[in-house]
Homo-oligomer: A and B are copies of this chain.
Amino acid sequence: MKTDVAIVGVGQSPFYRKCGMAERELCFIAFQEAIKDINLRPEQIDASIVCSAPEYDKQRSPAAVIADYLGIIPAPSFNLETLCCSSSAGLRQAYSLIKSGLHQVVAVIGFQKMSELTSREAAERMVRGGDVQWESPFGLTMPAYFAMVASAHMAQYGTTPEQLAQVRVKSCIYGEINDKAVYRKRISVEDVLNSEMVTSPLKKFDCCANADGAAVIILASGEIARRVTDKPVWILGLGASTRSAALAGRLSFTNIPVAREASQAAYEMAGIGPEDIDVAEVHDCFTIAEIVAYEDCGFAKPGEGTRLIEEKQTYVGGRIPVNVDGGLLSKGHPIGATGASQIRTITRQLRGECGKTQVEGAKFGLIHNVGGPGLYCYVTILGRD
C-alpha cells in the first residue's frame, strides 16, 4: 500500500434517542471499544481531534474536557467542525498530523448529544447552518435544502417518490440487525409513501432522526500500525471540498457539487476508480441524498442512481453494497459522530468482521460524508493489505 497511515482501532457507542448521560461518558464508551482490541495504551495516543457541531450542548470547548476524561492528556487536542462531516474532516487532519511527522498515533473522537434540545430548537440550530444573513431569515430547514435537490432531480430525471422510498426500505432491512442503530424496524414502500409530508417531496420516513452518540477512530503511522494490529486498514484517498453556504452560489441542484469534487479528489489520490470500490457508506441524511451520492461518487451516471436501488445493486450481494449497516436513516445522525461511525463500518468490512452484512472479500471501501446542505464534503477511500 502506498500510504503509511492506517486505522488501527474503531469504536462506537450505541446511538440513542436520549442517552441520559454526559457527553464525556458517551465518548468513553466509543473510546473503550476502539482501544480494546489493540496493543496500545491511551497514553501512547499523542494527539486527538474532537469533532462535533457546537451549540447542541452547553459545554464550550469540548476538546479538553473529553480528552481529559479519556485519559489522553496532555497530548495536543482541538475541536474541529464541518457540521455533519466533522469526523471525516477530523480523519483527514489526523492523517496529515501523522504523515507530517508531528504525531504517531492520533484519536479522532466524534460525538453529538442532540437530546438536550427539543426538535424545533434543533431545527433552529440547523437553519443557522446555512447562511444566517441571506437564508435563515426565510425559515429554511435542513430537510428543505435536500427537498429542493429532490425537486430538481425529479424534474430533470423523472425520479419518483417510490424510488426514494426504496432507499429507506433497504436501510431498514440492515438497520434491523444493527444493534447500535436507533431505528430497528422494517418498513415498506407504502409505509414511507403514507408517512406525513415534512417538506415536499420529502416525507417523514425519507428523513433520518436526530440522535445521541459517539464514535472513535484511532490512526497510527505504518510502523506502529503493524505492531499493534494484525489488520491495519490503510488510508488511500482523502478528498475534500467546500462551497458557499448560500444556495444562491449553488452550481447545480441535481447533485451535491462538493461531493462530486471530493470524490474525484479521493479517487485521484488513491489511484483507483468507482469500479474498484467493494463497499461504501454514503451520507443518507435523506433518501434523495443516497440516490445523489450514488451519482456523485461515480457508482451511477447522473440521473441513473435510481436504477441502482431499483435493481438492488446496493444491497449485500449487489454490484456495490451501500450503507449495509442501516446508514444514517436507521442508525440515526448524531452530527459529529456520523462520519466516524461510517468509517468504523468500512474498517470492519475490510477486516471481515461484519457477519450477516459482510461483503465477501471486500478490499477497497469508500466513505462519503456531507456537511450541512452541501457546504462541505469529505470522501475517504480505505484499503486492506
Q: A interface vs B, CB < 8 Å? A: 22, 47-48, 53-55, 58-61, 63-65, 67-68, 73-83, 86, 89, 92-93, 95-102, 125, 128-129, 131-133, 136, 238, 240-246, 249, 257-258, 261, 371-372, 375-376, 378
**Which of B60, B77, B97 meets A242, CB within 8 Å?**
B77
Please name 21 pairs of A and B residues whose Cβ atoms are closer than 8 Å in the assembled complex, sorted by A.
A47-B240, A55-B60, A58-B136, A60-B128, A60-B129, A60-B132, A61-B83, A61-B129, A64-B242, A65-B245, A74-B257, A76-B242, A78-B89, A79-B80, A79-B82, A93-B93, A93-B96, A96-B102, A99-B99, A99-B102, A102-B238
CA distance A241 to B47 in the complex (A): 9
Contact B132 A243 (CB under 8 A): no
User: Closest approach, in angstroms, between the C-beta of A241 and any C-beta of chain B?
Assistant: 4
Contact B95 A100 (CB under 8 A): yes
Contact B128 A75 (CB under 8 A): no
**Which of B55, B81, B102, B129 meets A78, CB within 8 Å?**
B81
Each complex incorporates copies of this chain amounting to 2
CA distance A74 to B79 in the complex (A): 22
Please name the residue on chain B nearest to A64 by beta carbon: B375
Contact A68 B238 (CB under 8 A): no
Contact A242 B67 (CB under 8 A): yes
| Given A22-B133, A77-B376, 6 more pairs with CB closer than 8 A | A63-B82, A64-B376, A68-B242, A74-B257, A78-B82, A80-B81
User: Closest approach, in angstroms, between the C-beta of A85 and any C-beta of chain B?
Assistant: 9
List, in ascending order, chain B residues with CB within 8 A of A131's CB: 59, 65
